[in-house]
Structure 1
């Protein structure tokens, strides 16, 4: 079962996808449109202002956006992850204060937890520190790559290592906190209208009411399945679009591709079913390796799908006009394996556990 975008959003994304990829469409236009269509509310309990449903429903929404624009899906992923962090925080005061503006798209949510996801897997140390100062907390450090840092207003989740010992904590940092410095947008090959930049955090003083999770190692495994499953939605949508383009290409000699297109589509459907089963059962919390393997497999399927699109389209894929959509999807496919945790990082984790994919 797939998710259908509202017609007006689907039409706008289809006409704007290249502009979003190359930065010609203002990033400020993107999140409000996604939020107005209700996409940030999917899978969020109705009691919290969401539309209900499951995490898999949110994955389907991300996949539907990715069929038109991976950059737009990337923004939705980061925003929806932050919404999930608030939906699962024990800090209900923070949740109730921030969630209405986030669900409405008035403020952007940025998932700055790539570093801590790698920290949790033993791949790198934390890049942020926090120390108590009276009743407040003072945060220092840097986040080198964060998406959805909307200039008009954002809140970013960040993991920080306490200077006085104890487990790492997750805190919320706002765009207007003194000491929060946003860089210019990163010079990406594509995905330019995604408000992707770095943050420098210098002596940022926040209250303890900004703590999302006081014990990150205990709290993160519960949100990690959503974090990675929504990334899987990006790959699912892109692969489906390339397979659809490949299947729709006509011309002499293209019939020989029908069988591999169908076979890859069947593989994709099987992985989607496994993703749904793991999310529905909650099995990915205790056994994240199974989810890592699905993420790796989806990255491989994306590359096979765009290769089939190229073969089916032939020379027109290399022409600037007719091949513009394919060229964007080719770049988008190159982005899928490097989203943190990257496929190399996931393979490293699996290899260390004796379960190399």
Structure 2
């Protein structure tokens, strides 16, 4: 039986079981030793946890369910929840690809967890928001394109992994962008270790260097890229809300864990667990409504998604800090899940789109959509 044939409730149950057992046993190694939880990621993929948003026969076409799945995992480990998002959006790129080859066996292998991949769209998304410029450059070549450039860090990668990427093209027809599946084992591609981060060490994050890397038509996702980016931009950002929701819920769990012992003094703190839970529940209800129309490409809808994502990032910071204050000294131990979650919340706030990026984009789009 394929995972999604078991039903939606069974899918969430399987994801929760993996998260609370196999993943929970590895969280310390992921955070402290930089363990890349490849076996757990393959289990989560096989359970359907990273493909619920895809259309049949690969999933349920249910973005709300995909967000819930990511949240269940991020509640236990924010790093693994982030990698679920990477795998989920990479599957979305392949599903929407102009290449029928990518939509076939490669997508099936991706959905099953046989192959794993990420997304190298941080720089392009910042470029479209007028924050950066494209770091990858493509030139037409016989039977495809040649791409050169570097990206400072891309996650959920390994020697046999791949990621969705975008390169700018300048030729006689004008300027446009090429979106393609970048294979880490392709000629001209080098993966380099990144400096140590304060958190998210087990996320398979590397710097990517491309030197005259050939891209065949079989690996083209979109040419030009902008129409597809406009179609999936809300879905791309929306799926990240699962990361935020999981980190917030985990922080609330840690607050309740000490309520019996410390509630008599914790009652004097702001952002009590019941208050944060109410705010999270309201935010999740808003996200679930947005998830009903993930391909709405209007600016007005995208602003709503950006606002929900920003709210999730800000609530992550508040919840994680409050959990630390509620737990006191025990939450300040390096081995504490609360200490880890504080660092995970910082990542939710700075990963593309970061809070400042979200606010900047909302302001820009709001000005563009205002009547003259």
Render the CA deviation track for 1:234-276: whole Å, top value 9, x for unaligned: 0101101111221232223234559732222212111111111
Q: Secondary structure at the match of 1:44?
A: coil
Q: Secondary structure at the match of 2:311?
A: helix
| 1:302 paired to 2:302 | no
Equivalent of 1:202, from 195, 201, 211? Answer: 211
Superposition pairs of residues 37-186 of structure 1, within 5 angstroms: 37-47=47-57, 50-151=58-159, 153-164=160-171, 165-186=174-195
Distance 1:284 1:232, change over 3 A: farther
Task: Compute the TM-score of the two structures, normalised by the length of structure 1.
Answer: 0.91
**Backbone CA RMSD of aligned residues:** 2.1
Distance 1:41 1:281, change over 3 A: closer
Alpha-carbon distance in structure 1 between the residues aligned to 2:36 and 2:123: 28
Task: Compute the TM-score of the two structures, normalised by the length of structure 2.
Answer: 0.88
Alpha-carbon distance in structure 2 between the residues aligned to 1:188 and 1:259: 28
Equivalent of 1:230, from 239, 251, 272? Answer: 239
Alpha-carbon distance in structure 1 between the residues aligned to 2:56 and 2:361: 36
Alpha-carbon distance in structure 2 between the residues aligned to 1:128 and 1:94: 21
Q: Secondary structure at the match of 2:237?
A: helix
Distance 1:16 1:136, change over 3 A: same
Alpha-carbon distance in structure 2 between the residues aligned to 1:258 and 1:178: 55
Alpha-carbon distance in structure 1 between the residues aligned to 2:239 and 2:317: 19
| 1:325 paired to 2:337 | yes
Matched with 2:306 is 292
Alpha-carbon distance in structure 2 between the residues aligned to 1:14 and 1:181: 32
| 1:221 paired to 2:235 | no
Gaps of 5+ in 1: none
Question: 1:72 deviation in Å?
Answer: 0.5
Maintained 8 Å contact 2:334/2:340? no
Alpha-carbon distance in structure 2 between the residues aligned to 1:144 and 1:353: 28
Alpha-carbon distance in structure 2 between the residues aligned to 1:131 and 1:261: 54
Distance 1:205 1:282, change over 3 A: closer
Maintained 8 Å contact 2:16/2:72? no
Equivalent of 2:199, from 172, 190, 194? Answer: 190
Q: Secondary structure at the match of 1:285?
A: coil
Alpha-carbon distance in structure 1 between the residues aligned to 2:327 and 2:103: 48
Matched with 2:328 is 314
Superposition pairs of residues 210-289 of structure 1, within 5 angstroms: 210-249=219-258, 250=260, 251=262, 252-256=264-268, 260-282=272-294, 285-286=297-298, 287=300, 288-289=302-303
Q: Secondary structure at the match of 1:222?
A: helix
Alpha-carbon distance in structure 2 between the residues aligned to 1:329 and 1:282: 28
| 1:12 paired to 2:26 | no
Question: 1:27 deviation in Å?
Answer: 4.1
Render the CA deviation track for 1:176-228: whole Å, top value 9, x for unaligned: 21001111244211211110011001101121221101121111021112211
